[in-house]
Amino acid sequence: MKQNSQNVDYRLGELLVDLGVTSATEITKGLKVAAHTSLPLGKTLVMLDCVPDYVIRSVVEAQSMLRDRLLELGQAKQAVGIVKRKRWTFSEALISLGVDAGTTKGTRLGELLRDAGKIDAQQLEMGLAIADYSGLPLGQVLILLNKVTEDKVRLTLSLQRELRASNLERKDAVRRLSTADSADETGTSLPALTVTPAIKIKLGELLTEAEVVSDDHVKEAIRSNRDNKKMLGQILVEKQRISSDLLTAALRLQSLIWSNFISIPKAAAVLREAHRLEGAPDALATDVDGLLDREAKKISLYDFLRITGYLTREKIRASVEKIKEDPRLLAYVMSHAKNANEAERSPLEEATELALRDTAALRAIFNETHPEDRPLVDSALVFHQLVQERKLTLCQALVNFSIKINGIGAEPLHA
């Protein structure tokens, strides 16, 4: 079944389109949300109701087998089609096509880390369970759980790439990984992970990205720093390359990037505009603070529960069926639709979704329709609030909620 064709990257977005799962337009929407939330593309597509969660999981499995050259694209398309029609697992779909579903093992990140002695079988099982529920990549989950360092994950991904290109034997990759105390030149040659808990951009890099100072100015300041041990920002201010107000704004934006509340291009654009409007420091500070508030408040509790995979279409429909049987609850939901200037005759499912977007209404409705889930909803509320207060990143909150909902024994994550 192995293919002899050249190695293909099979990026998730392109693969979803090639397999007929979604359109290029929806992929573009998902990528935009992913850029602002630091979530994986698959998770944002689920949140946007573009692709069901179980289909994303199947395509990710297909992606791994395609990269390992254990599956042909035509077989993957057939299998995913079966998953969509019959809601089978990807393995069941492969078996129905006469494909050995057990051949998926070999070069997966978790297996390489386990076989190299970097994590044990229990840690791998826990990481896979959290990754499956949260929708985050296994490597990122293991980093967030402090089971491995980012350097180890990057090195493993680099070795994985060499394995899949047939440039390295598996036993040599495992031996190399098992003896590595830190990432070697192979690991550092690999670009940073597509999604990381935090992007640690340097102040000088942000200022040059925003075209506020030149690269030569930054290098000059760094050389001065070696002599007098001053901070880079302080030197740039003293040399009148930037104002103290602009430095303050840059440091705030740098903090937003590190906290995953804003992308580097967006922060650079804000800083560039701030430089253009130099002379209005109060307005600048207000603009940066307002940006923080807007970014933090974009993810509502409803969005958070959708992202986590807890608030599925099936769960909403189950609530709708119970609402139909309760006149008091029905009146409450329809009242919310009216208060939001929606048509009075909105379909009940649409009216229910509208009501669920209000945090208080969401808790009230789920207390009535899913009383057994009250502790989970309350936990989600806490994690959501911590994200808004910048005490947890969105990815950390997702992992914490996954631990809570699965009852997995792991220490809670802190910022």
Measured torsion, CA atoms of residues 409, 147, 127, 297, in degrees rounded to the nearest 10: 90
Task: Please say whether the dihedral angle defined by the alpha carbons of residues 260, 264, 268 and 269, taken in this order, is positive or negative.
Answer: negative
What digits encode the pLDDT tens for the residues 364-391? Answer: 999 999 999 998 898 888 888 888 877 7
Q: Is the pLDDT of residue 52 over 90?
A: no
What digits encode the pLDDT tens for the residues 323-362? Answer: 999 999 888 888 876 655 444 445 788 888 888 888 888 9
Most confident of 73-82, 105-114, 193-202, 245-254: 73-82
d(CA 190, CA 172) in angstroms, rounded, equals 19
What digits encode the pLDDT tens for the residues 138-195? Answer: 888 888 788 888 888 888 888 888 887 778 888 888 998 888 764 343 333 333 434 3
d(CA 195, CA 282) in angstroms, rounded, equals 34
- Residue 285 has phi, psi (to 5 degrees) of -60, -40
289 HSE (CA, 13 A, CB side): 7
- Residue with the bigger pLDDT between 247 and 55: it is 55
- Residue with the bigger pLDDT between 398 and 51: it is 51
The structural domains of the chain, with segments of one domain joined by +, span: 12-104, 111-188, 203-297, 301-406
Most confident of 66-75, 94-103, 130-139: 66-75
Q: Is the pLDDT of residue 5 over 70?
A: no
Comparing CA positions, the residue from 322, 319, 244 lying closest to residue 285 is 244
What digits encode the pLDDT tens for the residues 264-302? Answer: 877 787 778 777 765 443 444 444 444 444 444 567 888
Q: Is the pLDDT of residue 26 over 80?
A: yes
Contact indicator for 8, 15 with CB cutoff of 8 Å: no
Residue 340 has a pLDDT of 52
d(CA 131, CA 140) in angstroms, rounded, equals 9
Residue 259 has a pLDDT of 57
Q: What is the DSSP letter of 340?
A: T
- Residue with the bigger pLDDT between 334 and 22: it is 22
Collapse the DSSP code of 331 into the 3-class scheme (helix H, G, I; strand E, B; otherwise coil) and give the result. helix
* Average predicted confidence (pLDDT) for the chain: 77
Residue 105 has a pLDDT of 55
Token code pair at residue 285 = 């500070």
173 HSE (CA, 13 A, CB side): 27
- Residue with the bigger pLDDT between 80 and 334: it is 80
Task: Please say whether the dihedral angle defined by the alpha carbons of residues 125, 165, 30 and 271, taken in this order, is positive or negative.
Answer: positive
What digits encode the pLDDT tens for the residues 397-408? Answer: 888 888 887 665
Share of the chain above pLDDT 90, in %: 12
pTM for this predicted structure: 0.56
Question: Which band of pLDDT confidence, cut at 50, 70 and 90, is reported for residue 21?
Answer: very high
Residue 296 has a pLDDT of 45
Residue 371 has a pLDDT of 92
